[in-house]
């Protein structure tokens, strides 16, 4: 069963975020707390959204997403920040169902794009996404500004 996340799901989602980070060898990079995740998901107006996949009455996976915007299409889309299904539940169709729900939201709202990033070494996920018809955008390189570089740029005197 795929459904929008509820406040009671936030502890499970936060644990899945940590599980995902561990899988990606990046657990030390998780600096946000469960309470911060709660505040983000319950903000008014919301800027980030989550759907969960239930299996046997328990949260077995999640998709966390937000609206993107394309100047080329002059319209919104969905950017999937994270998708994760517990390893023991993979192969049951939960990941596909989560992505299908986001695709339905795009279609219903007239959004032309559903996009996400995947680590280059994550061959199983890349194969799964390709099986759905997703196209890798190899000509695009993700950039990130954070930490001291972000603070340095923010402190730039614009006068």
The domain limits of the chain are 2-154
pLDDT, tens digit, 9 for 90 and up, residues 4-39 = 999 999 999 999 999 999 999 999 999 999 999 999
Per-residue pLDDT at 112: 96
| Alpha carbon separation from 51 to 5, 85, 137, 152 (Å, rounded) | 5, 12, 25, 36
> pLDDT-based confidence at 159, cuts 50/70/90?
confident
The DSSP secondary-structure symbol of 93 reads S
Per-residue pLDDT at 73: 94
> pLDDT-based confidence at 99, cuts 50/70/90?
very high
Tell the burial category of 92 from Cβ atoms under 10 Å away from its Cβ (0-12, 13-18, 19+): middle
Report the predicted TM-score, pTM, of the whole model to 2 decimal places.
Answer: 0.92
Our answer to whether residue 129 is catalytic in this structure is yes
The answer to whether residue 157 scores a pLDDT higher than 90 is no
pLDDT above 70 covers a percentage of the chain that reads 100
What 28-33 contacts at long range (C-beta under 8 Å, 24+ apart), as own/partner pairs, is none
What CATH superfamily classification does 2-154 receive? Gcn5-related N-acetyltransferase (GNAT) (3.40.630.30)
The residue-averaged pLDDT of 134-152 equals: 91
The answer to whether residue 158 scores a pLDDT higher than 90 is no
């Amino acid at each position: 069963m795929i459904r929008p996340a509820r406040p009671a799901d936030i502890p499970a989602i936060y644990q899945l975020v940590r599980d995902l980070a561990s899988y990606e060898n990046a657990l030390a990079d998780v600096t946000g707390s469960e309470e911060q995740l709660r505040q983000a998901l319950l903000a008014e107006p919301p800027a980030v959204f989550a759907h969960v996949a239930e299996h046997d009455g328990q949260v077995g996976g999640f998709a966390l997403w937000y609206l993107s915007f394309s100047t080329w299409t002059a319209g919104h889309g969905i950017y999937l920040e994270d998708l994760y299904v517990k390893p023991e539940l993979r192969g049951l169709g939960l990941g596909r169902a989560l992505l299908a729900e986001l695709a339905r939201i795009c279609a219903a709202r007239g959004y032309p794009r559903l996009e996400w990033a995947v680590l280059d070494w994550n061959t199983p996920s890349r194969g799964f996404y390709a099986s759905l018809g997703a196209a890798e955008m190899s000509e695009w390189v993700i950039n990130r500004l954070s930490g001291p570089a972000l603070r340095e740029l923010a402190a730039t005197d614009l006068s």
